[in-house]
Amino acid sequence: MNKIKLLTIVSVLIFVSCQKGLTDKEKEMYTQKGQEIAKATFKKMGGEVTKKMKEGGVFLAAPYCNAHAPEIAKDISSEYNVVLKRTSHKLRNADDAPDDREAEVIEQYLNLHEMGEPMQAFVELDAAGHPHFYAPIKLQKKCLACHGVPGKTMEQRSDSIIKSLYPHDKAIGFAENDLRGIWSIQFQDKE
């Protein structure tokens, strides 16, 4: 056996044994916690967006997301001692780009969704040894105003407003129930 082969086998073994580092009980606990954090973030972001939409439509709400979404993610991260991220295969904010594992998880969810299978939240130990929560973010009707199909389910001028903030925006063309992206939450409390 050559050295490279041996190294590959050893690293796969280390990877697999790390995967087993969380008990079922811990996985369940972190999954619940992850869901709670995702919900709190949605509430914090969504509440303000709905308010701004009522006050002045996408014209007010999109710049609000632009200015505050990253800040809210940071606040929640320090409040819960996690690193919280929302990422996607079709990005609006380039700062939300997926890492390798996140891209894999998105791909898996897309395949499941295509086959009509449920997309479930899960927790695993990540490469840095932290419990890591992943969950799908599905598109709801109220998201269409900013992530729908321009000229159809989304106003053309809303698309123009968003493009002025994000010239490389890819986060349009979604339909209700589509996979919009994922939550990726890394817990900091377990080494």
Q: Which residues bind ligand HEC (CB under 6 A)?
A: 46, 49, 58, 61-62, 65-66, 69-70, 86-88, 91-93, 96, 137, 139-140, 142-143, 145-147, 171, 180-181
Q: How far is the CB of 140 from ligand HEC (least distance, A)?
A: 5
Considering the complex, state which of residue 17 and residue 164 has its C-beta at the smaller distance from ligand HEC. 164
Considering the complex, state which of residue 9 and residue 67 has its C-beta at the smaller distance from ligand HEC. 67
Token couple for 60: 């007010």
Q: How far is the CB of 108 from ligand HEC (least distance, A)?
A: 17
State which amino acid sits at residue 164: S
Helix (H, G, I), strand (E, B) or coil at 68: helix
Considering the complex, state which of residue 77 and residue 93 has its C-beta at the smaller distance from ligand HEC. 93
Q: How far is the CB of 42 from ligand HEC (least distance, A)?
A: 7
Q: How far is the CB of 176 from ligand HEC (least distance, A)?
A: 10
State which amino acid sits at residue 190: K
Query: Integer distance in angstroms from the first to the last C-alpha of the chain?
Result: 34
8 A C-beta contact, residue 18 and residue 190: no
Helix (H, G, I), strand (E, B) or coil at 133: strand
Q: Would you say how long the chain is, in residues?
A: 191
